[in-house]
Every structure is written in C-alpha cells, then in structure tokens.
Chains A and B, each alone.
Chain A
Amino acid sequence: NAGVTQTPKFQVLKTGQSMTLQCAQDMNHEYMSWYRQDPGMGLRLIHYSVGAGITDQGEVPNGYNVSRSTTEDFPLRLLSAAPSQTSVYFCASSYLFLGDGSYNEQFFGPGTRLTVL
C-alpha cells in the first residue's frame, strides 16, 4: 500500500493564483482531512470529509475548497492564493469506527510545502 500520497511536495505561487493540492489514499478510509501547519505551530483543520460526497468546514476554511467524489481522493483548492496561506499542508485519512475497543488512527501524507509570494 502507498498509504496517503500528496502532490506536489513543494509549490511557489504568486498572490492571486489558484491551484489544487492533491491527496489520495489506498486504504479505503472513510475519513479524510486537510490540515495546515505554520512554522513552530500545531495543526489547524481546514476541511474534512466523513465519506464520498460529504465535506465540511474545519477551523480555518476561508480561501479553500474541497470535494470528495471518490473514497480515495480529496483535493484541496486554493481559490486565490494569499501570502497568509504560506504553510505546510498535510492530508490525513482514517477509518471511522465508533464502539468499544475501536479507534480512528489518522495516517498522514508527506505534506506539501506552499509559498505564496
């Protein structure tokens, strides 16, 4: 299994440009999420999905769109890049289990380092 893959690894954009960060997983996980991590900071949830066709906003959704047309893929779109979106972006996925003894360990992709000039 490849696990969670993200492309590209690095990207430089100019203010106002748009782009899509790709995320794919081959573990048949229901749950997928996007986080951003700023230098020296923790993780902030951008958007998440509990299954194909279902997405919702996290803590910092402004300026980003997502879609989940398949179980495997969860792309993140930057609509009009701003310098404040310079960050490292992580995609993560997990099963969605609820019940005694179950857990939802998230697996992370390698990250995309984005710089907006």
Chain B
Amino acid sequence: ELKVEQNPLFLSMQEGKNYTIYCNYSTTSDRLYWYRQDPGKSLESLFVLLSNGAVKQEGRLMASLDTKARLSTLHITAAVHDLSATYFCAVDRWWDSNYQLIWGAGTKLIIKP
C-alpha cells in the first residue's frame, strides 16, 4: 500500500527562522506535488517535482526530491507571517488503467510575527 507521511504535522515558528517539512512515501514514484491551503480556502499547487534531484524554488520556499530515499523536503527560509498555511505533499499512484493522487496528512504551519 502506498503511504505518504509528512512531518511534522504541526509547526509553530517565529518570523525570520528557517525550517524544513519532510514528506516520505513508501513506494517508487518520480512525481511529487506540493500544495498550499490557506485557512478556509481551497488548495493551490506550489511545486511539481518530476525526477530525482529536482529542485524548485519560489520566494522563500524551496522543494527538493530524492527518489532513492523516497523523500521530498519543503524548506522555508526566513519565514514570514504570510507563509502561514497548511502544506500538503502528494505522489502519483498508477495501477492498470487507474490513477490516484495519494496525499500526506498535511503540515499546519503557523508563523508568529
């Protein structure tokens, strides 16, 4: 069974600090997705990582993928309050002619001014 585990599930941090969210998955996949959800809002796509060693950056967020370790990280640099949100990772699951995205439980990030 394909599982996606995120840690931590909850993170409270001060502005200006750096931190990393981890996303482990249990089977081979070379596509990993990061999404952001603001409180009371829908999900929006942040990054799509397509291969081993892929790195994507936008502003203070940087995501990377290590397919051999089955691990993706989302690194936050010099956090600001506007980055407070819940972050989800997800991986593709294909079988026969079927498809699903398998989701992590989400990491709720609170950044205090």
Contact = CB atoms under 8 A, between A and B. Distances in A.
A4 B31 CA distance: 23
Interface string A21-34: 00000000001010
Interface residues of A, number: 25
A43 B99 contact: no
- Of residues A40, A48, A104, which shows the largest number of chain B Cβ atoms within 10 Å of its Cβ? A104
A107 B31 CA distance: 16
Nearest to A94: B101
B103 A104 contact: no
Contacts of A41: 105-106
Interface SS of A by simple majority: loop
B41 to A, nearest CB: 8
B12 interface: no
A18 to B, nearest CB: 25
Given A43-B43, A103-B92, A107-B45, 17 more contacts: A33-B100, A41-B105, A42-B104, A43-B88, A45-B100, A56-B98, A58-B100, A90-B42, A96-B99, A103-B31, A103-B50, A104-B31, A104-B101, A106-B33, A106-B101, A109-B42, A110-B41
